[in-house]
Amino acid sequence: MKEKKRHLTLVKKRSLEANVSIVTETLEQLAFQHTVLCQTSLPYRNPGDAVRKWERQQGNVALQIEAGATRHPEINRWVELGLPFGSKARLILAHLNAEALRTGSPEIETERSLTAFVRRLQDPTRRGKSGPNGHEIRTFKDQLMRLSVAVIRMAMTANEHTVQLNSQFVDVTELRLTKDEHNQACWSPTLHLNHQYFDSLQKHAVPLDERALAALSHSAMALDIYVWLAQRLHRIPHGKLQFITWAAIKGQFGAEPATRRPRLKQATRA
């Protein structure tokens, strides 16, 4: 009897290829995430336009994001945008952080760099054959717009002393009167990260392998697990076990465990 061939899904194939590349090849490109956003998270799914605030707390760090509004240049009124959410918002923020840290400037050219970044996140079999399609770019730009007008508050507590950052991800955005093929106003190709956020990022940036981001780009939770491990593992002494309670896991990723247990059975080694 012939053995059935096992076909890998696209997600599994990309994960395996990324794993081999990371283990055997030289680091290609770094992205970065702020340590507070490694320990907390954005919404996994769209909470709806009626939800204007999102709060998360984990250990000694806390995050609050408030949805913003943009002044539409054609209808001459404020238009409320929803909260940033999902994998694309996380990937865009990692990209903006990387561009700002790479150049040492909060001013970021987004038009070409974002398209190139999206292309690098695509399935390796598509690279070089075609760029990201219009739908992919629009969905990324929608999340970019949400991030650009959102208000962010980050708090870190140590030794009964709390430092709170009140800012936005982006200081300056610009909408043109020109429209794209879908009759939507177009973004300026340049954004300016908020200086307070940029200064904090320079002190608290966690490096991420872009190949890992590409392999996990289908899942917001997978990205959260990766960035959480990236900022946590380097603090664990080599060869030591780190026990994590189920309550902490629930607080971190927001998922209700099927069965509550006092401690996570599988410990993580550095």
Structure confidence by residue, pLDDT tens digits, 199-244: 999 999 999 999 999 999 999 999 999 999 999 887 788 778 878 8
Residue 126 has pLDDT above 50, yes or no: no
Q: How many CA atoms lie within 13 A of 211 on its CB side?
A: 18
CB burial readout 65-86, b (16+ within 10 A) else e: bebbebeeeeeeeeeebbbbbb
- CB 238 within 8 Å of CB 220: no
pLDDT number for residue 55: 93
- CB 33 within 8 Å of CB 97: yes
Distance separating alpha carbons of residues 82 and 4, to the nearest angstrom? 47
Instruction: For 83-98, write each residue's pLDDT tens digit.
Output: 999 999 999 999 999 9
Residue 67 has pLDDT above 50, yes or no: yes
Q: Give this prediction's pTM.
A: 0.79
From residue 4, how far is each of 1, 8, 11, 13 by CA, in Å? 9, 13, 20, 18
Angle at 196 between CA 194 and CA 200, to 5 degrees: 115
Distance separating alpha carbons of residues 231 and 238, to the nearest angstrom? 15
Instruction: For 21-58, write each residue's pLDDT tens digit.
Output: 655 666 668 899 999 999 999 999 999 989 999 999 88
Supply 84's token pair: 């940033």
Instruction: For 154-179, write each residue's pLDDT tens digit.
Output: 998 888 888 898 989 998 776 555 55
pLDDT number for residue 222: 93
Average pLDDT over residues 106-132: 69
Give 69's pLDDT tier (boundaries 50, 70, 90).
Answer: very high
pLDDT number for residue 265: 43
Q: In 3D, which of 182, 165, 168, 58 has the Cα closest to residue 106?
A: 168
Percent of the chain surpassing pLDDT 70? 73
pLDDT number for residue 58: 86
pLDDT number for residue 143: 92
pLDDT number for residue 174: 67
Q: Which residue has the higher pLDDT, 196 or 137?
A: 196
